[in-house]
Amino acid sequence: MPSPPPPALRCFALVPCAGSGTRAGSPVPKQYVEIDGAPMVAHTLAALAGVARLRLVLVALAPGDEEFERRVDLPAGRRFAVARCGGGSRAETVAAGLVQLARLGARRDDWVLVHDAARCLVRPEWIDRLIDVCADDPVGGLLAMPVADTLKREVAGRVSTTLPRDGVWQAQTPQMFRLGPLADALDNAGPNATDEASAIEWQGLSPRLVPGSSENFKITQPEDFALAEAVLRSRRTELA
């Protein structure tokens, strides 16, 4: 008897967008600071809109968010939804977002790509590469980059030791895992989960590392805004 065909690939995206962004030093949450003429998160959503295999992109906002609809125009189409389900931490926001995705039709075995709102320079082709690599993976994976700089451990403002960087990677997003296992992993890991991959690792599993790009950095400090704007302007020049 022939084996049943593999299930069709179903991918969803979740964008945690509930943070205050205090380190960025802006008067509004950093996801709403304009970069090259549009709020940061608008650039993020535009990139996700360019990934045809995403069935739905859910933006998880803080419960009291009054800025999103006023500042952000969702990309055309019906592949976007907004939920004010954010929690006190990234892990809580992602966990609540997974519940919302399930209510919107996502199944436990569907893939969810969690992507930082503050990584607004991501390109659709990088996301597609992640999907291509992880679609048949038993665990899932994430975009990441090998660490190039020498790493120092600090104690009281001074170097205490130099850390070996061989085999050390810097995690990026999206991070792509199946909805059910990710929800279970976040529930089990609790505060130990600094990102989705660490929650999966807490389960004894090893996510796949998929090379990303140095441009896919997370806007955190005030100077990061100027760098991101320069990259976006350079891309527009390339297309002109």
Please state the domain count of the chain.
1
What is the b/e burial string over 170-188, where b = at least 16 CB atoms within 10 angstroms of the residue's CB?
A: bbbbbbbbbbbbbbbbbee
Residue 163 lies in a domain: yes
Q: What is the CATH number of the domain that holds 163?
A: 3.90.550.10
CB 111 within 8 A of CB 178: yes
Residue 6 lies in a domain: no
Output the pTM of the full model: 0.93
Among 169, 203, 185, 32, smallest CA distance to 94 is for 185
Residue 3 lies in a domain: no
CB 126 within 8 A of CB 143: yes
Token pair, residue 155, equals 């104690």
Angle formed by the axes of helices 40-49 and 124-134, nearest 10°: 50
Residue 186 lies in a domain: yes
Residue 5 lies in a domain: no
Residue 4 lies in a domain: no
Residue 21 lies in a domain: yes
CA distance 116 to 3: 39
Residue 61 lies in a domain: yes
Instruction: Give the domain range for residue 70.
Output: 11-239
What is the b/e burial string over 112-128, where b = at least 16 CB atoms within 10 angstroms of the residue's CB?
A: bbbbbbbbbbbbeebbe
pLDDT tens across the length of the chain (240 residues): 555 555 689 999 999 999 765 554 567 889 999 999 999 999 999 999 999 999 999 999 999 999 999 999 998 877 999 999 999 999 999 999 999 999 999 999 999 999 999 999 999 999 999 999 999 999 999 999 999 999 999 999 999 999 998 999 999 999 999 999 999 999 999 888 999 999 999 999 999 999 999 999 999 999 999 999 999 999 988 876
